[in-house]
Amino acid sequence: MGGCHSYPSATKTDSKTLQPSDISNEKLGTNNNNLEERPYLQQQYVCQRVTHTDMFALTALPPGVDKAEWLASNTVAFFKHINLFSSALSEFCTPSTCPTACGPGNMVYVWTDDHGRKLKCSAPLYFDYAMSYIQDLLTDEAVFPTKAGSVFPTGFFFLVQKVFLLLFRTLAHIYWCHYRETLALGLHPHLNTLFIHLTLFSRQHALLDPEETAPLRDLILALGQQL
């Protein structure tokens, strides 16, 4: 997984031309990583988080705040946090440890370029593409305007949904493939907090397809019971 530096573009052409169907899931058989129990569901871990803030209040649209502005500022913040977090685990996510970008339930995330070509790539490469794609979007003044009086583009909500899909997959890969390293580093309370915040925010604002989150529904329910 990449660091928190600037990422090169995933493709030479405009990556915003990617469509949601371009980033697809494929079941490609059993991965040895996935045969073991799901340690992240164990009670002694699932109850760990770094704050006991009211997450529902934290994610709801504050009165008087423009919804697009609220989505934009949170998107930027989630990207920064998740990018930083994944970079802390990057030494454990290599082409040899993670030859495919696998997620919960033996899902394999396949990157599709803007020419419709599916790229079988390792997890670090997949998430490099993802972070690069997101960073390009966030720094595009036409998509995430920062100047006073600017307006958000028509497809803004759709692009935010794509960003949240990729951020969700980043955390899903960590839970599925790097949870033991996360525990060893003592990062599991941070991971749970980020994940609760992301999934609650996504639910409040309809940003993630339930089909995408289904393989981690057990974790989402277990963490929700702690709130």
Interacting residues with Zn ion (CB under 5 A): 93, 98, 123, 177
Say whether 4 counts as a known binding-site residue.
no
CB 136 to Zn ion: min, Å? 22
**Cβ proximity to Zn ion, 107 vs 200, nearer residue:** 107
Other beta carbons within 10 angstroms of residue 179's beta carbon come to: 20
Question: How many residues are present in the chain?
Answer: 227
What whole-number distance in Å separates Cα of residue 155 and Cα of residue 185? 39
The burial class, CB within 10 Å (0-12 / 13-18 / 19+), for 102 is buried
Return phi, psi of residue 27, to 5°. -85, 120
CB 89 to Zn ion: min, Å? 8
Is 88 in contact with 1 (CB distance < 8 Å)?
Answer: no
**Cβ proximity to Zn ion, 55 vs 93, nearer residue:** 93
What whole-number distance in Å separates Cα of residue 220 and Cα of residue 41? 10
**Cβ proximity to Zn ion, 25 vs 204, nearer residue:** 25
**Cβ proximity to Zn ion, 18 vs 123, nearer residue:** 123
What whole-number distance in Å separates Cα of residue 127 and Cα of residue 97? 14
Say whether 98 counts as a known binding-site residue.
yes
CB 83 to Zn ion: min, Å? 15
CB 50 to Zn ion: min, Å? 23
**Cβ proximity to Zn ion, 161 vs 170, nearer residue:** 170
Return phi, psi of residue 24, to 5°. -115, 160
Q: Which of 193, 173, 11 is nearest to 108 (CA)?
A: 173
Say whether 102 counts as a known binding-site residue.
no
CB 124 to Zn ion: min, Å? 7
Is 119 in contact with 113 (CB distance < 8 Å)?
Answer: yes
Output the known binding site. 93, 98, 173, 178
Output the known binding site for Zn(2+). 93, 98, 173, 178
